[in-house]
Structure 1
Amino acid sequence: MVLNVDLHSHSTQSDGSLRPAAVAERAKARGVDWWALSDHDALSGLQEAAEAARELDLGFIPGVEISVLYSGVTVHIVGLNFNPADTTLQVGLAQIRQTRFERARQMGDRLQDCGVEGAFDGALSLAGNPHLIGRVHFARYLIQQGVCDTFQQAFERYLGDGKRACVPMQGATLEEAVGWILSAGGKAVIAHPGRYPYKPARRKALFSDFKALGGQAIEVVTGSHTPDQYRQYARVAREYGFEASRGSDFHAPGMGRVDLGLLPDLPYDLVPVWRDWIVEPGH
């Protein structure tokens, strides 16, 4: 028996629709054995998540997804199994949250220019944590107002990278994000590498720079990848000697390609990022 490990999910503490405890319950109900909450640039949901997981007899690993600006593109670095009380990590994430709020104001102004009234206030009312208002909250507002029918449509028309209302996230540097995670005793993971619009040379530079800074893993099997990308990034993990992570990138019921716990297993020959934390049956 292979353990069902899901190390990427979100709650109302960033851009998810369920409270941390409810995400834990959903993970347990869908057969997850070990779970990580990895909200964007925030640790505020981890205590509730850990307590809920303990009550459910669900293995829990603290996580966070840090916004990084690399070569003009927002890249997400997931930190796993770190000390949430680490001061360096906490201060760094607080700095990012300050930039997120200003970015949201600019996105609201751009949507106003597109003829969408009240977007900032509307998105803010839908954010469980106002300091972490983001594109998903604007997408929910656009759907609520009947401007768009789906999240995909909202991103294709207004909010996706390079679209009319998108404002690039001024996050941490790659060096800062990896350093914060390592300072807190955790492992750094490149989230859903298939999502970033890099040309091959720049993508290789990302992997090389990440590894040189002490980054240890990439997400291979993720709800943000297609089956072809599972195979593609398994090859990348082998080439660079990265450990492999697995996570649904769950935000809300019915949103995304796959729900919590329903991903296929990692390829058998890859080293799981959780190898040192979780003993799988038969090992």
Structure 2
Amino acid sequence: MSILNADLHCHSIVSDGTLTPEELAARAAANGVELWSLTDHDEIGGQQRAAAAARAHGMKYLTGTEISVSFAGQTVHIVGLGFDAADTALQDGLAATRGGRDSRAQEMARQLALAGIPGAYEGALKYVGNPALISRTHFARFLVEQGVCRDTGEVFRRFLTDGKPGYVEHRWAALGDAVRWITQAGGIAVIAHPARYRFTANEEYALFVEFKAHGGRGVEVITGSHTAAECVQYADTAREFGLAASRGSDFHSPDESHTELGLLPWLPGDLTPVWEVVAGRIQ
């Protein structure tokens, strides 16, 4: 079953994407996606809409979310798949993780104003579909609109990463808490796009050891931000740690995303796909 067009990582206007769950479902289906998941940041408010849209387009569906956690001084993303979206512990945990985003956004705007970019908070709000989830991506879109930068990637490099004006650290969930919320709700926890983190080899090893000790069971091997060499690297990591492999574009927007929904390389045939682990949760 590794040869399956599954896209298990993307974002809608419920978090920091630009399309509705229904528009994403139509786009995924048009690209031949057979199994789909909407994984909005720290939010499951779009799950019912996404599942209904998937069914309308003849796709199978897995519930999804992407939880921000703090580990070794960095923000790491943990994707949850196949959980019960009505689970109250999961809902409460995500609500707590979302808390504090507005005050963080206000401080980001203050720092950008000091750097000569006024009105960033109000400008970012124009791009927000869910005010509880205002994020760096919304600020980036505003700075592109204002002509400060050519694209969102340049905004992040110049203003919104550690050590730059406009970057404000936020304390996210603990790794163990996020994995527990997902697994106790019947789902599988997956480390998202591991090549994106700036860990040393020892720190990355510690991440995988602790993740697995908490009950984490998967890693994104094929994802929109991985190079071919990184896909090979994390296929090896999946084998080393006995983890299931996931596949997802991390699609946010037709104008910003480098990888289109569903148009990804296949998983290596010897790996266990995450959808086999949560087969009983597929809708």
Fold-level match, TM-score > 0.5? yes
CA distance in 1, matches of 2:96, 2:169: 16
Q: SS where residue 266 of structure 1 aligns?
A: coil
Where does the alignment leave 5 or more consecutive residues of structure 2 unmatched? none
Equivalent AA in structure 1 for residue 258 of structure 2: R
Counterparts of residues 16-35 of structure 1 (less than 5 Å): 16-35=17-36
Q: SS where residue 62 of structure 2 aligns?
A: strand
Large movers: runs of 4+ above 4 Å: none
| Contact persistence 1:73–1:168 (CA under 8 A) | no
Equivalent residue number for residue 226 of structure 1: 227
CA distance in 2, matches of 1:126, 1:31: 29
Equivalent residue number for residue 152 of structure 1: 153
1:113 aligns with 2:114: yes
Equivalent residue number for residue 3 of structure 1: 4
RMSD after superposition: 1.3
Q: Deviations over 1:155-187 (max 9, x none)?
A: 110113432211123110001100100111100
Higher alpha-carbon deviation: 77-86 or 90-99: 90-99
Report the CA distance between 1:37 and its aligned residue.
0.1
CA distance in 2, matches of 1:122, 1:143: 11
Q: SS where residue 275 of structure 2 aligns?
A: coil
| Contact persistence 1:86–1:184 (CA under 8 A) | yes
| Contact persistence 2:67–2:80 (CA under 8 A) | yes
CA distance in 1, matches of 2:222, 2:12: 20
Equivalent residue number for residue 44 of structure 1: 45
Q: Deviations over 1:70-89 (max 9, x none)?
A: 11100000000000000000
Report the CA distance between 1:224 and its aligned residue.
1.6
Equivalent AA in structure 2 for residue 62 of structure 1: T
| Contact persistence 1:11–1:19 (CA under 8 A) | yes
CA distance in 1, matches of 2:231, 2:163: 26
Q: Deviations over 1:247-277 (max 9, x none)?
A: 0000000323211000000111111011144
Equivalent AA in structure 1 for residue 151 of structure 2: T
Report the CA distance between 1:217 and its aligned residue.
0.5
Equivalent residue number for residue 173 of structure 1: 174
Q: Give TM-score, length-normalised by structure 2.
A: 0.96
1:257 aligns with 2:254: no
Q: Give TM-score, length-normalised by structure 1.
A: 0.96
| Contact persistence 2:109–2:119 (CA under 8 A) | yes
CA distance in 2, matches of 1:190, 1:71: 15
CA distance in 2, matches of 1:266, 1:167: 36
Equivalent residue number for residue 76 of structure 1: 77
| Contact persistence 2:187–2:278 (CA under 8 A) | no
Equivalent AA in structure 2 for residue 240 of structure 1: F
Equivalent residue number for residue 60 of structure 1: 61
Counterparts of residues 199-218 of structure 1 (less than 5 Å): 199-218=200-219
Report the CA distance between 1:240 and its aligned residue.
0.7
| Contact persistence 1:61–1:80 (CA under 8 A) | yes
Equivalent residue number for residue 131 of structure 1: 132
1:140 aligns with 2:141: yes
CA distance in 2, matches of 1:68, 1:167: 15
Report the CA distance between 1:108 and its aligned residue.
1.1
Question: How many correspondences in the alignment?
Answer: 279
Report the CA distance between 1:65 and its aligned residue.
0.2
Distance 1:176 1:276, change over 3 A: closer
CA distance in 2, matches of 1:124, 1:265: 37
Equivalent AA in structure 2 for residue 126 of structure 1: Y
Q: Deviations over 1:175-212 (max 9, x none)?
A: 11001001111000000000111111011000000000
CA distance in 2, matches of 1:122, 1:101: 14
Equivalent residue number for residue 243 of structure 2: 242
Equivalent AA in structure 1 for residue 10 of structure 2: S
Higher alpha-carbon deviation: 168-177 or 35-44: 168-177
Identity of counterpart residues, as a percentage?
A: 53
